[in-house]
Amino acid sequence: MIRIENISKSNSNRILYIEASAALNRGEKIGLVGPNGAGKTTLFRMITGSEVPDEGQVSVEKHVTIGYFNQDVGEMSGVSAVTEVMDGAGPVSTVAAELRELEAAMVDPDRMDEMDAIIERYGEVQARYEELDGYGLESRAREVLAGLSFSQEMMDGDVGKLSGGWKMRVALARILLMRPDVMLLDEPSNHLDLESLIWLEQFLKGYDGALLMTSHDREFMNRIVNKIIEIDAGSLNTYAGDYGFYEGQRAQNEKQQQAQFERQQAMLAKEIKFIERFKARASHAAQVQSRVKKLDKIERVEPPKRRQSVAFEFQAPPRSGEDVANLKGIHKAYGTKTIYDGLDFSIRRKERWCIMGINGAGKSTLLKLIAGSAEPDQGSVAIGASVKMGYFAQHAMDVLDGEQTVFEWLESEFPRAGQGALRTLAGCFGFSGDDVEKKCRVLSGGEKARLVMAAMLFDPPNFLVLDEPTNHLDLDTKEMLIKALSEYEGTMLFVSHDRHFLSELSNRVLEVSADGIHRYDGGYREYVERTGYEAPGLVA
């Protein structure tokens, strides 16, 4: 359906692709992977025709419809969310628009002399609308929005009043309702809660078109894709299998290439040693000449290209007392909505609690109560002896000084740390090279979040309270963080919609639901086994 043939592309003097080729065939579900800045979004834009390669070509079969979702959702206001979704549903939305115009014309007294033609056209358009199942469009639009966690009130409210994250969901719903022949989804798993993520996973599994997507959620990608296209040093490498298979295959290929490189280097060293030893002896002249010619003809094996990934190691945090936090008789309400009604909850040293619950259940509220950024209406929150808390939430980014560079801000936070240590820290969280000279005010939301987290983990507290810590991390940075936190010796309380993060790091689960609070010993994996569902909103 889509062929990428020998493309080369540069952006701002940076080479993205060099004679790269790949294909997207009918029914394939492909994960597009590569480091930040490798050119994933550029590839999407070349497929849609909004950019062209410098050399080579991207060809799309005739009559193939493409739906492209990206993070730039544009302006939305003045209509309901459900209308906004229906207006982007491809051919049927165009027909619906004409149908509305004709209905208005039929009651316009100034157009009475055209009425026969209007009525005739209305019949034709109405037949086409029925053929496209237009009358089922609204119910399908509501079904998609409900899957993405919209309430009926939000569906019918002005889309312009929604936050950026919810507008992203509206933009995604437009593409899903459209059901094009090819979906290009650039980070569709961002801004989704766990219930929406799992619903989208099921939707895409049942989608019979072709799919090319990026995602920073390995579990999500693993369950959907059957092929990986990797952008690596300007090439497009294809792997038949899911993300887990790709990781294993890539590691195996690197190992084999390294072994081949080392064998050849040993052989070359042996040959060069012989040549150096006997080049001055006339009796060995023929042999030396023969070996020199042999070396000239050998095709050199290159060592494997290593992705730059820096391991982050925690300093050991100070030891806290055994009782880390204790909540007694907590009541908390927002207006008429009661969040907690007599909550008792305690956290002991080295416990790693993940909080599960649907949107609005009170997960972030619980973290705020413990961190002290919200007060209970009744009850008490007691933090234990020698507890040094680190709280990560989106508003934590307010601590950044917009006029300082990334490096200047880190230096101001840690004046006694060496430059090398701070540069390593910045590199771990995606600030390499000139990135450390960026002013904090020009950083994206994701970059700000990474910088604040980097500072928090450099001088680690013994109690980490984390609200969606992986939202803005790419796959490699997320893996680095999971590895570092798995070796962390302190206590953790966190909310996350990333199932890999939940599985690897939790040893306790607190489920906040409409029928009360439920505690589970064991981590997220054991929780899923015991309850039979991956998120509370998916209870049958």
Torsional sign, CA 107, 110, 112, 114: negative
The DSSP H or E segment spanning 341 is strand 337-348
Cβ atoms within 10 Å of 302's Cβ, excluding its own: 10
CB 91 within 8 A of CB 132: yes
Residue 5 CA to chain centroid, in angstroms? 28
Token reading at 36: 């930040």
**Rounded to an integer, what distance in angstroms lies between the CA atom of residue 461 and that of residue 389?**
5
Q: Which of 190, 253, 188 is nearest to 225 (CA)?
A: 188
Token reading at 80: 């309901």
**Rounded to an integer, what distance in angstroms lies between the CA atom of residue 499 and that of residue 470?**
11
Percent helix, strand, coil in the chain (nearest 5)?
A: 45, 25, 30
CA torsion, ordered 188, 190, 196, 200, to nearest 10 deg = 20
Please return the burial class of 139, using the count of CB atoms within 10 Å of its CB with bins 0-12, 13-18 and 19+: exposed
**Rounded to an integer, what distance in angstroms lies between the CA atom of residue 163 and that of residue 278?**
77
Q: pLDDT tens digits for the chain (540 residues)?
A: 899 999 999 887 788 999 999 999 999 999 999 877 788 999 999 999 999 999 999 999 998 999 999 888 778 888 899 989 988 776 777 888 888 899 999 999 989 988 999 999 999 999 988 887 788 888 999 999 999 999 999 999 999 998 888 999 999 999 999 889 999 999 998 888 999 999 999 999 999 999 999 999 999 999 999 999 999 888 999 999 999 899 888 888 888 888 888 898 888 888 888 888 888 887 788 888 888 888 888 888 777 765 555 566 767 888 999 999 999 999 999 988 889 999 999 999 999 999 999 888 899 999 999 999 999 999 999 999 999 999 998 777 777 888 999 999 999 989 988 888 888 888 888 787 888 999 988 887 778 888 888 888 888 899 999 998 888 778 888 888 898 899 889 999 999 999 999 999 999 999 998 788 999 999 999 999 999 999 887 764
Spell out a b/e string for 450-483, using b for 16 or more CB atoms within 10 Å of the CB, else e.
Answer: bbbbbbbbbebbbbbbbbbbbbbbbbbbbbbbbe
